[in-house]
Amino acid sequence: MAGFDKRVASYEEAMEGIESGMTVIAGGFGLCGIPENLIAEIKRRGVNDLTVVSNNCGVDGFGLGVLLEDRQIKKILASYVGENALFEKQMLNNEIEVVLTPQGTLAEKMRAGGAGIPAFYTATGYGTPIGDGKEVREFNGRHYILEEAITGDFAIVKGWKADRYGNVMYRHTAQNFNPMAATAGKITVVEVEEIVEPGELEPSQIHTPGIYVDRIIQGTFEKRIEKRTVRS
Amino acid sequence: MALTREQMAQRVARELQDGFYVNLGIGIPTLVANYIPDGIDVMLQSENGLLGMGRYPTEDELDPDMINAGKETVTVRPGAAIFSSAESFAMIRGGHVDLTVLGAFEVDQQGNIASWMIPGKLIKGMGGAMDLVAGAENIICTMTHASKHGESKLLEKCELPLTGAGCINRVLTDLAYLEIKDGAFILKERAPGVSVEEIIEKTAGKLVVPDHVPEMTFDD
């Protein structure tokens, strides 16, 4: 009996059950804090017609960008999709459906999805093309649009440290969308740099409590830098 | 003379107040960080989940897990905090950020802003801009006053798809500093050597010109 032990032995096992046509929510901002090995496993499995929910879509040859190579993504919800030539090409050829979503709305859609809130009102996007066709309500003299929550068949998440029970901590700004993504998957898979014994992580420092996490795996990461800026 | 990018950043920086939490957009707004006046402490918010952004790292400090919203590697200053994207946008949407500075393609006399999409061109997305303009009380828009072809970007009504409606109250262009109030641009300051006539000519929206329009001054 595994009890609360969420560890799996391989990336193959980590993504067991993913099928074509599913919705996958991914953590990460640009290339920072992306579940790079879980993405690679999705590529290896060759599943397609995926709906992907992620702030960005990686770059050519790295991150979610690798899923474009064999046209595995049917639809993506993202706030910003620059820096990716293959993506551009597929978007212009209508080979991929893109639902541009304001960044805060995207984060809140994931958060609400994980928290059992089906929709929420926000001022973001009111009076813009994003608000077209959406319900509008006025509260205290201001207009808000109704945005619906998102859940995924899978959530793929990159953490820093976790214990065997799936309690996760993130490192620096690699946190970004990961905690919300972790709450919003029917199956949430977290890959981390280090797995420790329960009790080793300070309970009050846990970002994602293990209750949200179904599978956990330790990996090694390239952590590619998108824009390398240094001072002399 | 029209303001340089550096002078625009310098002028915006004069609007900073001690104790402000500030979100700076990409481009000229980012340069504002280089001109924070002495004796004033501001905390820079980066919407990927960082409050208290520091300088670019040295080679030794470089860390792929530490980036800003422009995806550039950065450092944190003492007293910084790091959090999730949802927390970050709670700050932004909840009106907790004191000042937001961002660029635009067009602004109009009703305070509408268009900054994310040019139909027919490749659309890359709005990122956090729609959340920022909807959430902030206090926004300064930085942009050139007119296009390279001389077409005004300060309009009666924005022609491009909007980023936000009725949310902009201050604009700094390369020619002038203006406020937007009651359906008009109000000319507050002009760039050194730029005449009121030139600003009138290059402003397509309704422009209110006070009797005296001071010229901006710069140290260098």
The answer to whether B109 and B156 have CB atoms below 8 angstroms apart is yes
Q: Which residue has the tokens 């949407």?
A: B93
Return residues 140-169 of A near B (CB < 8 Å): 160
Q: Give the gap in angstroms from C-alpha A163 to the nearest C-alpha of chain B.
A: 20
Q: How does strand B43-46 pair with strand B50-53?
A: antiparallel
The answer to whether A164 and A137 have CB atoms below 8 angstroms apart is no
Angle (nearest 5°) at CA B44 between B43 and B50:
105
* B177: Cβ contacts below 8 Å, ≥ 6 apart: B11, B170, B171, B188, B189, B190, B216
Where b means 16+ CB within 10 Å and e means fewer, A127-138 reads bbebbeeeeeee
SS3 content of chain A, % helix, strand, coil (to 5): 25, 30, 45
Return residues 57-76 of B near A (CB < 8 Å): 57-59, 62-74
Q: How many CB atoms lie within 10 A of CB A30?
A: 27
**Both tokens assigned to A52:** 């992907």
The DSSP symbol for B71 reads S
ipTM exceeds 0.90: yes
Q: B175-205: per-residue pLDDT in tens?
A: 999 999 999 999 999 999 999 999 999 999 9
In chain A, the residue whose alpha carbon lies closest to the alpha carbon of B69 is: A29
Instruction: Give the pLDDT band of residue B27 (cuts 50, 70, 90).
Output: confident
Are A107 and B72 in contact (CB < 8 Å)? Answer: no
Q: Give the gap in angstroms from C-alpha B113 to the nearest C-alpha of chain A.
A: 10
Question: Phi, psi at residue A91, to the nearest 5°?
Answer: -70, -45
Please state, in angstroms and rounded to a whole number, the distance separating the CA atoms of residues B49 and B65: 12
Q: B79-127: per-residue pLDDT in tens?
A: 999 999 999 999 999 999 999 999 999 999 999 999 999 988 878 899 9
Q: Give the gap in angstroms from C-alpha A126 to the nearest C-alpha of chain B.
A: 7
* A14: Cβ contacts below 8 Å, ≥ 6 apart: A8, A38, A41, A189, A191, A215, A217
| A105 interfacial to chain B (CB closer than 8 Å) | yes
Q: For position A83, what pLDDT does the model report?
A: 79
| B112 interfacial to chain A (CB closer than 8 Å) | yes
Q: How does strand A50-53 pair with strand A23-26?
A: parallel
Q: Has residue A163 got a pLDDT over 60?
A: yes
Active-site residue numbers of B?
Answer: 47
